[in-house]
Amino acid sequence: MEWTGARYADTPTVEVRRRIEAPPGRVWELVSDIGLMPRLSAELQSVRWLGEATGPAVGARFVGRSRHDAFGSWETTSHVIECTAPRVFAWAVSDVAHPSAVWRFTLDEQDDGATELTQWMQLGPGRSGLSPAIDRMPEKEQKIVFVRLREFEHSMGATLDALKALAEGAEL
């Protein structure tokens, strides 16, 4: 990731892609399985559907518990905002209208039947775990944002690598 000087109010984004030698339907089974994601993430500890939801659908909600050395532990409720199998799975964290983050998986079938999987995320515009650090050190806002985006880029790459391995037949 290259330094952009972005501020939180800019709703900065990060995106990671991988080519997966598996059809979109197989990749979709994995990316839409929220229960799988804690196994693939150092930060996300647990996830469960809320209410009547048992799987991804627009309007469904899920709660995630996360942990980070610098931020401690926290819990957020996410709202599925886009769900088009086997193409797009996206959710807004906390507040749909003013989310602390938006996350999206996009699956594009390639001419040879493989899948290009993209994971994208946007910080803000709503307050998040970064907001208290920025409030305490406003002069370091751009560095705080950059470091967190770089962390996301690294962890997203690891997640996509694990999804690729699973979709292509490896056991984790």
Return phi, psi of residue 90, to 5°.
Answer: -140, 150
pLDDT in tens, the chain (172 residues): 677 789 999 999 999 999 999 999 999 999 999 999 999 999 999 999 999 999 999 999 999 999 999 888 999 999 999 999 999 999 999 999 999 999 999 999 999 999 999 999 999 999 998 999 999 999 999 999 999 999 999 999 999 999 999 999 976 6
* Domains, in order of start, for the chain: 8-167 (3.30.530.20)
Respond yes or no on whether the N-terminal peptide bond of residue 56 is cis (omega within 30° of 0): no
b (16+ CB within 10 A) / e for 132-145: ebbeeeeeebbebb
Q: What's residue 4's pLDDT?
A: 77
pLDDT digits (tens, 9 = 90+) for 46-80: 999 999 999 999 999 999 999 999 888 999 999 99
Compute CA distances 26 → 55, 57, 117, 153, 159, whole Å.
16, 18, 12, 24, 16
Under 8 Å between Cβ of 1 and 153: yes
Q: CA 139 from chain center: how many Å?
A: 27
Compute CA distances 109 → 25, 42, 87, 137, 167, whole Å.
9, 29, 9, 44, 14
In which element (H, E) is residue 79 found?
Answer: strand 72-84
Q: What's residue 2's pLDDT?
A: 73
CA distance 91 to 113: 26
Q: What is the pTM of this model?
A: 0.94
